[in-house]
Structure 1
Amino acid sequence: MNGVALGMRPRATQTVGARQTGSVLMLALFVCLSCAVLCLSLGYLIRLSGEMKISEEAGRDQVARVTGIFVEARDRSLYRWGEGQEFEFQEAAVTLEGLQPTEQWRMGVQAVCPSSTDGLRKVASQWCSCIIERGLDGMDLPAAALVAELCLAAPGRSAPVLSGEVSGATPVYLSFPELSAVPAEVPVRRLPERWQLDEGARARIKNLSPNCGNVLILEGRPGQLLQVDLPSYDGGGGVGGDADGGEGAGAGSAPQDPVLIVATGGADLALTQKGEVYGVMVVDGGSLMLDDTRLSGAVFVSQNVYMGKTGVLIFDSNILRWATDSSLPRVRLMPGTRAERWLE
């Protein structure tokens, strides 16, 4: 039996070896299959991520396109508020119209963006809408009746160049008060440095229409003298929202209908021989001439104010408050009113 047993051992060894070889082949096949599945999965994920990136970029481009349409409609409404408009922008048909008669401070904008393609896929056409709201804002000006380096008058003049509600809360700021023609009883404070608009205020003024209601924006250059033509009366832009000037009157002709005139770029401003004017004068970088003009309001200039023989500034705190609180029209896209819908 020992011989038989010993004779059978090689056969058992061969069977075990065959089984081990088969197991190794199965393991190798399983590993190859796993690698193939892994490669396919990675390839699919890479392709899917690429498509997602393309789709995300297309979606962002569409959102930016709609936002650009709304911004364009907002800017157009600032100059022609209340008027219905139809125009094309970025191949989209845009309609800007007023809402109900009681909604005088709001307008609605609707647009239809046509379908487009990015070379890989087609982007469906889209309808979008938003509401634009109008409001009033003002300039950031000092609480003062007059700000300048010097306030000068013609030689030999005895009449005061400044009167009105000047007080310690709204004094006069001058760089050289001892050389100025301001009456001694008027509270005067020394200006430590030249006054001028900051960059933020200049940017806001630059974005306004040159003639926007009761606001007149004049742009010049150093050494240039700008002549003022008061803007025509358009109604509802003055103190309290109403004016008594009547048809054909000019802005600045009544206390309820003041005017804000801003000269930028370093140019000088001439408001001479205008008679009675109600408003606020702002000259950024230049001087102001007021000869033969009675100005009720306030003055802010970077250099000098020339009163001449008969020019007078009558400080009016109500007009200054109008200039700093509600002289500038503002429009904005109302948050939460944006709506979009795919048409295909």
Structure 2
Amino acid sequence: MSTEKHAATFAPPAVNADGKRDLIGLDRGELEALMAEVGEPKFRARQLWHWLYHRGERDFAQMHNLSKEFRQRLGEKFYVGRPGIAVDLASKDGTHKWLLELRDGQKVEAVHIPEEDRGTLCVSSQVGCTLTCKFCHTGTQRLVRNLAADEIVGQVMMARDHLGEWPSPKDGRMLSNIVMMGMGEPLYNFENVAKALKIVMDGEGIAISKRRITLSTAGVVPLIERCGAELGVNLAVSLHAVNDELRDQIVPINKKYPIRELMAALRNYPGLNNARRITFEYVMLKGVNDSKADAHALVKLIKGIPAKVNLIPFNPWPGAPFERSTPGAIRDFSDIVFDAGYSSPVRTPRGEDIMAACGQLKSDSVKQRRSARDREAAA
């Protein structure tokens, strides 16, 4: 499937039921153009940027350095949006998961994972996913559409609302890191993801550094270089197998972009060095990819690439065809990779009790649509 076909899966216009346009998701240039359309000087865009993205303000009436007349006109034509929260779940380990409702009724999930020294928000880029990775619950939900930039930025702003982190704090943030590891393949929605992340990284707004943003891909080779050149964020690669035969089965995108092509693209990732390593994600599947031989093959495969390997114990979901590797197998695998000179931490599963762990995200949009059809049929 080409990137062009994925790009054709559009989000609906950012207009509410009253015909007002959402200001969230507009970049600086678009905000300036919009101010010109309504007869306002260019500096108004910078003032609005501050209120929208630095202070997180949603009420035009509270934007005190704007004239009362201008605030009134803003309220007549525009609004400041957020995704709706359909379900709000808190795990016993502090992880928080939101099922978010978008303007067309579709749903995606976002997860906040608090730690002692940071707080990471896992952000979705698509409703559903096209990749059908066999170990991933999201992959069992067909791709519905790409998220627009406002829907991606909106996940970050919604989490900031929940955490009470407005204005944007400089230090001690509970939301300090972003990982594009939620629902969907970010590189199959590159234009919207890139626009959203540039807004998030802007130093006068949400101001999360590119050093604290990681984009995860299953290996959309043609867009890897562009990601590094235009965004400069950290790159994580969902590898999960060390040969094409197995990866074709469990990560089907490998049939289009096999391991050899993927590794060549990664070796040329812009800005790659020992201080900015590629993270290889490797889910540990019992009896499938977790042998000592697999570990040695992995070390050989990534040789020469500044990298670390995140070992992810498989997180089960209803109907999953795999089991988690044993603690002993995971430990032996990690030791082999570590002894070869690569950091190989084992990711601690978080939020399993609310299906918020890696590979468990799946919105209930499909189930709800099916239930609605069943009700209509019964009627």
Please confirm whether the aligned pair reaches a TM-score higher than 0.5, indicating the same fold.
no
Larger Rg: 1
What TM-score do you get using the length of structure 1 for normalisation?
0.28
Structure with higher strand content: 1
Query: More helix by proportion, 1 or 2?
Result: 2
Bigger RCO (CA 8 Å, 6+ sep): 1
